[in-house]
Amino acid sequence: MVMTVLFMVSSVIKGKVDALLAVLVFLLTSLALPILVCAKGPLEREVVVLAVNDVYRIEGVEGGQRGGMSLIRALRTQLEQQSPDLLFLHAGDFLFPSLLSKWTNGAHMIGVMNALDGAPGTYDPRMFVVFGNHEFDKSKQKHAALLQARIDQSEFQWLSTNIRFSQREGKPLVASDNLTRARIVESGGVRVGIFGLTTDKKSADKIAYVDEFMDPVHVAQEQTTLLHEQGAEVVIALTHLSLAKDREILEQLGERAPHLIIGGNEHQRHHVEIGGRWILKADADARTATVVRIRMHGKRPVISFGYRFLDRDRLNRDSKMHKQVDQYLGKHEEWFCTKNNDEPDCLNRAIGETAVPLLGEELEIRRYETNLGNWVADHARAVAADADIAFINAGSLRLNEDIPPGPITQRHVEELLLYDSELVFAEIEAHQLDGVLERATENWVGEGHWLQISGFAFKHDSRNPAGHRASDMRLFHNGRISPLPDRPLKLVTSRFLIEGGDDYHMLKNLKWVSVVSSLKDRIRSILANEHGPIAPQVDGRICHVTEIGRRPCVYQNNP
């Protein structure tokens, strides 16, 4: 047996050692080293799974240097050289939102995903996707036909196990030969059962053609049992759920749970072992992909996994896919500039300049205070002269990459603010703000409900129980903190949040004063009127008590 690098770890055998070995595997595979190549005995059977999640940009990020469809295709080709019947799974969120999806309504994504097997025009029996919450961004009843069209155009299988679509004349409004509840597929001589679970974060009452997202835990138990009865040796749940809900499935079901959960939603990689079973998630926009090996030892599956970094230092882009991506990008820019009565190549035109890197990568902006988040929130607050505070959900700042020192382009602004929410001027009591911050710090794993803030500061301790994570709220103006006034605070935030988006239900009862501006128009105006490069800083307005000394904290200098 010849090994290029240790990559795998047994994970089904119960015991504390598994969790420790998983950490070792994670550290090793974070280096994106090649996969272990080892001889298999004549009776051993093995399934290899390649999985991605939350992929919005077909071209990738960092100027196409990381992620993107051409590198996903290259990695799949590489893995299939050793495992020709590899399974390819996508854990949801791809039709929307992206700059191109405003033009194609998701058709461009189906076009490139159909080519991920290298054979566009033919059905791929080893590719499975699950609905993410953003697949339902077009949520009116008339959009049921649009979603069905995208499913019909797909040359792969969609899984919809816990979604009950609305019916008309006894037929579902969304139905297709490419849409099923679950499927058993043979790979590596192993019968693998796969089913799909979708988040209910976008509740069914807001999607005109969905009646219900059924309870994921109950559906997982039901489907796992059914698939085993139908002959599945390994059961995989492909999910677009919160990490907390994925954990709940494994914790509540125990031996009745699926062997493996391949998930999305959080936008950053996670590996969690519970009772010998695993939850695995990769980074958004295919910065990383999850590679799983499931080897059968008799009737017992032994799971090994790792992450591959998808960047051009380690992979050469697939040339055919790269050409297809470039064609979509070129046609989109032509459409965008014409639609806006602008000159050709308008998306790459500089509309501002920065003297410092602007931190927009989701690993930062969805979990910490960043200088880009501060800059956006500060200018949102300044739209109303007497506003005390402002906050913006990080999920609305969708650039997912840093802007290096130099020009800020029209493309940067368009991709940063894909959702051009109106800014609302309202009033909020201190106890309501406390509830807002408790929601912001809930499930502190890098989700879009995290807030970027202006005009105030608070302390945050994720170790504390719910209701006690956020504390010591103060006003923060001109570098100094002061107590909250004994009156309602004047607030600027997005209409999305004020209407209860991202589960900020406590904001739905706020008193509105006015709708004051479009956030995107506000940012464009600021950049157009700057007389030099911007240089926003992280000043410690969000003070993580466990990271004092590593990150700024205004409370250190302002007792």
For the chain, domain boundaries? 44-324, 349-557
CATH topology of domain 349-557: 5'-nucleotidase;  domain 2 (3.90.780)
In this prediction, residues 193-213 reach a mean pLDDT of 85
SS3 125: coil
pLDDT at residue 142 in the model: 95
In this prediction, residues 343-347 reach a mean pLDDT of 94
Contact 250, 277 (CB under 8 A): yes
Please state, in angstroms and rounded to a whole number, the distance separating the CA atoms of residues 218 and 277: 18
Query: Which ranges of 58-100 does DSSP label H, i.e. alpha helix?
Result: 69-80
Please state, in angstroms and rounded to a whole number, the distance separating the CA atoms of residues 67 and 283: 10
In this prediction, residues 294-298 reach a mean pLDDT of 95
pLDDT greater than 70 at residue 454: yes
pLDDT digits (tens, 9 = 90+) for 513-536: 888 889 999 999 999 999 999 999
Q: Which one, of 148, 157, 211, 209, lies nearest residue 179 by Cα?
A: 157
DSSP character at residue 355: S
Q: Residue 291 pairs with which residues in a beta bridge?
A: 50, 306
Helix axes 243-253, 216-229, angle to 10 degrees: 50
Categorize the per-residue pLDDT at 314 as very low, low, confident or very high, splitting at 50, 70 and 90: confident
pLDDT digits (tens, 9 = 90+) for 32-84: 333 333 444 545 799 999 999 999 999 999 988 999 999 999 999 999 999 99
Categorize the per-residue pLDDT at 201 as very low, low, confident or very high, splitting at 50, 70 and 90: low
Please state, in angstroms and rounded to a whole number, the distance separating the CA atoms of residues 517 and 520: 9
Mean pLDDT of the chain: 91
pTM: 0.89
Q: Residue 194 pairs with which residues in a beta bridge?
A: 183, 236
Contact 325, 59 (CB under 8 A): yes
Name the helix (H) or strand (E) containing 51. Answer: strand 45-52
Name the helix (H) or strand (E) containing 400. Answer: none
User: Which of 409-413, 459-463, 467-471, 509-513 has the weakest average pLDDT?
Assistant: 509-513
Instruction: Provide long-range contacts, Cβ within 8 A and 24+ apart, for 328-332.
Output: 328/58, 328/100, 328/104, 328/108, 328/111, 328/112, 329/58, 329/59, 329/100, 332/99, 332/100, 332/103, 332/104, 332/108
SS3 307: strand
Please state, in angstroms and rounded to a whole number, the distance separating the CA atoms of residues 274 and 280: 11
In this prediction, residues 255-282 reach a mean pLDDT of 96
In this prediction, residues 126-153 reach a mean pLDDT of 97
Contact 21, 272 (CB under 8 A): no
pLDDT greater than 50 at residue 12: no
In this prediction, residues 112-132 reach a mean pLDDT of 97
Contact 450, 386 (CB under 8 A): no
DSSP letters for 417-451: TSS-PEEEEEEE-HHHHHHHHHHHTTT-SS-TT-E
CATH number of 44-324: 3.60.21.10
pLDDT digits (tens, 9 = 90+) for 382-424: 999 999 999 999 999 999 999 999 999 999 999 999 988 899 9
DSSP character at residue 316: P
